[in-house]
Structure 1
């Protein structure tokens, strides 16, 4: 009985190969974050990956723009069985927040957008700039225009305040930068773990 336990421990200790990563030196990557896959992964300036955040490039590349935050237990990248979306790049543009427990397999999430906790963006989804996907939303195979808010039972509206006021957009960007500065003091980084 004890022999089979040690075999399991040895098997789980075998590390899978590191994906080809390009990570900006200012990025904060938790030692407990998970980065796996075979396609290229690009992580931009001031990106923060929380503990247990997962970036997966098993079936397509992943690009994360500057000033993005990927929360704990959130996953960015295509699943292992994406069907006709195999080989598609998953991209977070600048200033995107992916909150705890969310899954983002979308082709693109536009700059300044927020994906709240436990939401799912399936393969082929394209999210515009400054969109807000509220907690536990599920979006599959569609394109959302800039400034869309998804809420409740998949209801939609346009955030006209953010759309028409550049000062509000500027404040959202500033808020994201302040959040990142706080996280830099709270999340211990081990970027070198992912660089060959």
Structure 2
């Protein structure tokens, strides 16, 4: 029969493995208490960006920079290690420009990986180390961008590997929608940036 102290220990949340990452946060950041930030390099998050519960930012393999009004959804991983060992010349692990959405379960590998402004990384996508996505790109769910791959502006990448150019030119509408979504999330996600500083 288990004692009451052993029952209490089994329900305690586990501490994240690894060192506490140095951070540089905007004062208007929304970051959930249950987000995980770890690593040796600085994690920079700009104004009005949102980090959902259980999102993981790992700066063990390089600095992470997140631009303005980005949304990092739950169970996504920024700064994942890569199996690709091709040498690269970069101190940055992952750089997200402004108005980026990283959806649930998406993985962005560390190592000079850049995501251009107003791009969307869909559910369960993987962006390889050193990949460069242009502005206004969309990765549909479960799409894969290979390490070092270059994706031009306005490209839609599908999970079956096909691609097309998005000619809708709805950037202004997307920016307004992202700002409204952030306003809603501000009321829904209790933010605790002090926990990470």
Is the Cα–Cα contact under 8 Å of residues 69 and 97 in structure 1 kept in the other structure? yes
Cα displacement (A) at 1:17: 3.0
| Map of 1:161 onto structure 2 | 168
Is the Cα–Cα contact under 8 Å of residues 57 and 77 in structure 2 kept in the other structure? yes
Pairing of 1:47-196 with structure 2 (within 5 A): 47-79=49-81, 83=85, 84-85=87-88, 87-105=91-109, 107-141=113-147, 142-162=149-169, 168-195=170-197
Cα displacement (A) at 1:138: 1.0
5+ long unaligned stretches in structure 2: none
Cα displacement (A) at 1:87: 4.4
Distance 2:82 2:178 in 1: 31
Higher mean C-alpha displacement, 101-110 vs 183-192:
101-110
Once superposed, which parts of structure 1, at least 4 consecutive aligned residues long, lie more than 6 Å away? Answer: none
Is the Cα–Cα contact under 8 Å of residues 82 and 109 in structure 2 kept in the other structure? no
TM-score by length of 1: 0.86
TM-score by length of 2: 0.86
Cα displacement (A) at 1:78: 3.5
5+ long unaligned stretches in structure 1: 163-167
Q: Structure 1, residues 39-62: CA drift from partner, whole Å, max 9, x if none? A: 111011011010000101001000
